[in-house]
Chains A and B, each alone.
Chain A
């Protein structure tokens, strides 16, 4: 068997590869949610946006034979979902969490309905960069074949972190997230800022969906996401609303997710199913360890209904 050439070294390598491969949608969704939550609103509907993004990316890629047009289509669809969420939440007495759940179901249902004809056809895949050609081992090559979107996600992480500190838009976003009153006193309309932040968050989340259908696993079906959009929202809290924290959390989560398959591939035949739960257990443990019954969450935007 080929795998034996690496032996147990295959496990950390598989975890690294998994971290890169699995984390990409988490990076995009959690960055998007960070933008939205930094403006003081929660969009729980990103799971629906993610799946709808996956469907629309796949469908457009099939029809145009261009994966990048697929990504663009997903972004537009995601932005529309975000705009809808933001628009509804503008009205008084509307709860953003409830609307988010409704939007999630709406996105899922619409994606399943419109996506039926695209389960069979094959779409072009997103390109990736083989960074492992220096090695003769196929596992190393496979692990280091990095998708372009992962690199985009890396750049975006640092770009958003920079933007929050060094641009007018970034400061306005933080002002709105921290104090609607202060924002109004400055003549900023918090609802408009939140609308745009939710739209941007939706567009980013939909890119995560495009990655799912156009690269890994690389096909469209109704079980494509299995709750990744929801987990990404939890990751944002774990990352304390910090873009770099989102990147770290996504990588950690992706790596933990690769533990099960990696153990299976080196011949562990019993109990590896338990390790499939590793990312969830890890998230729970970390959330419990970093929480406190007596103190407030640090870094939480004050306007978030979650923390009020």
Chain B
């Protein structure tokens, strides 16, 4: 049995690793050493070359120059299979388990030597024996799609160990976990490294995780290795400086106090809607948002935030209850959203708020192309006016695009987000509904987008901010509400909020 052998942690070293794609150098002479049994963090902005480096290690890419050493011996990894044979494994940011298969089926099928006819009795006995040696339990008889995100992530790690991998790359492993789940999972992994069962190279954006669990860090910037060090010698400030270099980040406006006479812009009363599976309902008893206030909704992905946002956007039907905007019933028609100046920035805006193959200019005019200057509906498009508007917005929001007529899908994630923000924040906005606006963006884009939202708030916009990033909510919100299992279960002012209490409500232990 692969998993029960007492294999030891592996050490790994890249020597002068270089990767070029045409004339573009994604990785430039990177030498990093991960000692056996250490927990090494790899830091860097988007596009810094982190994923190129791990893809070279795992054999997805063949490096243009440099060597890979495992246990101080040079190895050649031409494919992921070679990497697996050496005992190198990777846990991806997005789950690679097959959702409709059970945990046991997922484990068995990922082995190389699956027998033609699987004797489930014998396999189960072997699996149970293997699981006994693990520091945590995972239900193996349920289809993986029914597992919570934290359980899936643990199963991914268990699978790597089951396959006998002793050097693991974790790619932002906690991005879908609650703070408590993340601590739990990383603590267990840390324990395994301390026992010498495993070496870990973790890609992360979260400094507090790196400080708490990693022994050492290496920082990449624009394909170059900027520095390495032990976590005991570095602080988050040093690491951030190494990651971004000398770039000036946009600063948040200072928060203006909410006027006591501010009117309530959005009010929900007894709202109920079915979730995506149709089996559960989301229920919001009451929620009011005042002008000039940011209300943050915290929660683990899949607890009804998406459904609530869709209901507000008119994409999902409410079963009962009322949505009131400016004290009037709101059905999210185009006419109403224009009248009440409601704007919406969904998550993954390229898919959810853009026509990906249409041009940046056309996408920027999606809110306004059908009305003329006098506010009357128009039949023929005024392309000159659309072009003027696009040019102005692209300049004002610093959208990097080859031209206003390039398809919006050709823009990077941060620039798509900027373009959508530009469109949605044009003119007066009374209510802004935003979901995960900074997911996957780099420091400067994040800082700028947050500054824009804060500016809108200070000018009197009511903002409803859905985010899976607690730090973002703590920084941006006036009040934070926690959504768990389709309900708003906890409310706290953002200032002085206790993360551990928020986390336990997110996990459903209110």
A-side residues, CB < 8 A to B, are 166-169, 171-172, 174-175, 178-179, 181-182, 185-187, 292, 294-296, 299, 301-302
Query: What residue in chain A is nearest B97 (Cβ atoms)?
Result: A182
Say how far B104's CB is from chain A's closest CB, in angstroms.
11
* Contact residues on B (Cβ < 8 Å of other chain), bracket: 20 to 34
Q: What are the interface flags for B217-246 relative to A under an 8 Å C-beta threshold, 1 for contact and 0 otherwise?
A: 000000000000000000000000000000
Q: Are B109 and A175 in contact (CB under 8 A)?
A: yes
Q: Are B109 and A171 in contact (CB under 8 A)?
A: yes
Q: Are A169 and B96 in contact (CB under 8 A)?
A: no
Q: Are B278 and A294 in contact (CB under 8 A)?
A: yes
Complex Cα distance, B144 from A182, in Å, reads 13
Q: Are B105 and A182 in contact (CB under 8 A)?
A: no
Q: Are B110 and A186 in contact (CB under 8 A)?
A: yes
Query: What residue in chain A is nearest B109 (Cβ atoms)?
Result: A171
B115 close to chain A: CB less than 8 A: yes
Q: Are A185 and B118 in contact (CB under 8 A)?
A: no
B99 close to chain A: CB less than 8 A: yes
* Majority-rule SS of B interface residues: loop
Q: Are B96 and A181 in contact (CB under 8 A)?
A: yes
Contact A171/B114 with A166-B120, A294-B276 known, Cβ cut-off 8 Å: yes
- Give the A-B pair count, Cβ closer than 8 A: 62
B-side residues, CB < 8 A to A, are 80-81, 96-101, 105, 108-110, 112, 114-118, 120, 274, 276-279, 316-317
Q: Are B117 and A182 in contact (CB under 8 A)?
A: no
Chain B residues lying within 8 Å of A186, measured Cβ to Cβ, are 109-110
Q: Are A187 and B118 in contact (CB under 8 A)?
A: no
Partner of A295, one of B101, B115, B277: B277
Query: What residue in chain B is nearest A299 (Cβ atoms)?
Result: B100
Partner of B99, one of A172, A179, A292: A179
Complex Cα distance, B120 from A302, in Å, reads 25
- Pairs of residues from A and B, 7 with the lowest C-beta to C-beta distance, nearest first: A295-B278, A171-B109, A168-B114, A178-B98, A182-B96, A182-B98, A175-B98
Chain B residues lying within 8 Å of A301, measured Cβ to Cβ, are 100
Residue from A172, A295, A301 whose CB has the most chain B CB atoms within 10 Å: A295
Query: What residue in chain A is nearest B102 (Cβ atoms)?
Result: A165
Query: What residue in chain A is nearest B116 (Cβ atoms)?
Result: A168
Q: Are A187 and B81 in contact (CB under 8 A)?
A: yes
Contact A171/B276 with A182-B97, A186-B110 known, Cβ cut-off 8 Å: no
Complex Cα distance, B116 from A185, in Å, reads 20
Contact A187/B105 with A168-B114, A294-B274 known, Cβ cut-off 8 Å: no
Partner of B100, one of A178, A181, A187, A296: A178
Chain B residues lying within 8 Å of A167, measured Cβ to Cβ, are 116-118
Say how far B306's CB is from chain A's closest CB, in angstroms.
13
**Extra pairs beyond A168-B115, A294-B276, A295-B276 (8, CB < 8 Å):** A167-B117, A169-B116, A171-B118, A175-B101, A179-B99, A185-B80, A185-B96, A296-B276
Complex Cα distance, B278 from A165, in Å, reads 27
Complex Cα distance, B96 from A178, in Å, reads 11
Chain B residues lying within 8 Å of A175, measured Cβ to Cβ, are 98, 101, 109
Q: Are A302 and B101 in contact (CB under 8 A)?
A: no
Chain B residues lying within 8 Å of A296, measured Cβ to Cβ, are 276-277
Say how far A262's CB is from chain B's closest CB, in angstroms.
38
Chain B residues lying within 8 Å of A168, measured Cβ to Cβ, are 109, 114-118
Q: Are B118 and A166 in contact (CB under 8 A)?
A: yes
Complex Cα distance, B80 from A168, in Å, reads 21
20 residue pairs from A and B, CB less than 8 Å apart: A166-B117, A167-B116, A168-B116, A171-B108, A171-B118, A174-B105, A178-B98, A178-B99, A178-B101, A181-B96, A186-B109, A186-B110, A187-B81, A187-B112, A294-B278, A294-B317, A295-B274, A295-B277, A295-B279, A302-B100
Partner of B278, one of A166, A172, A292: A292
Complex Cα distance, B99 from A301, in Å, reads 10
Query: What residue in chain A is nearest B101 (Cβ atoms)?
Result: A174
Query: What residue in chain A is nearest B278 (Cβ atoms)?
Result: A295
Say how far A182's CB is from chain B's closest CB, in angstroms.
5
Chain B residues lying within 8 Å of A174, measured Cβ to Cβ, are 98, 100-101, 105
Complex Cα distance, B115 from A169, in Å, reads 10
Query: What residue in chain A is nearest B274 (Cβ atoms)?
Result: A294
Q: Are A171 and B117 in contact (CB under 8 A)?
A: no
Complex Cα distance, B115 from A172, in Å, reads 12
Q: Are B105 and A171 in contact (CB under 8 A)?
A: yes
Q: Are B276 and A179 in contact (CB under 8 A)?
A: no
Say how far A176's CB is from chain B's closest CB, in angstroms.
9
Q: Are B98 and A179 in contact (CB under 8 A)?
A: yes
Q: Are B99 and A187 in contact (CB under 8 A)?
A: no
Chain A residues lying within 8 Å of B274, measured Cβ to Cβ, are 294-295
Chain B residues lying within 8 Å of A302, measured Cβ to Cβ, are 99-100
Q: Are A172 and B109 in contact (CB under 8 A)?
A: yes
Query: What residue in chain A is nearest B100 (Cβ atoms)?
Result: A178
Say how far A174's CB is from chain B's closest CB, in angstroms.
6
Say how far A181's CB is from chain B's closest CB, in angstroms.
6
Complex Cα distance, B111 from A175, in Å, reads 13
Complex Cα distance, B100 from A174, in Å, reads 8
Complex Cα distance, B276 from A276, in Å, reads 38
Complex Cα distance, B279 from A299, in Å, reads 15
Complex Cα distance, B113 from A168, in Å, reads 10
Complex Cα distance, B60 from A181, in Å, reads 13
Complex Cα distance, B136 from A71, in Å, reads 54
Complex Cα distance, B105 from A296, in Å, reads 23
Chain A residues lying within 8 Å of B81, measured Cβ to Cβ, are 187
Say how far A243's CB is from chain B's closest CB, in angstroms.
15
Say how far A290's CB is from chain B's closest CB, in angstroms.
12
Complex Cα distance, B145 from A296, in Å, reads 14
Query: What residue in chain B is nearest A241 (Cβ atoms)?
Result: B100
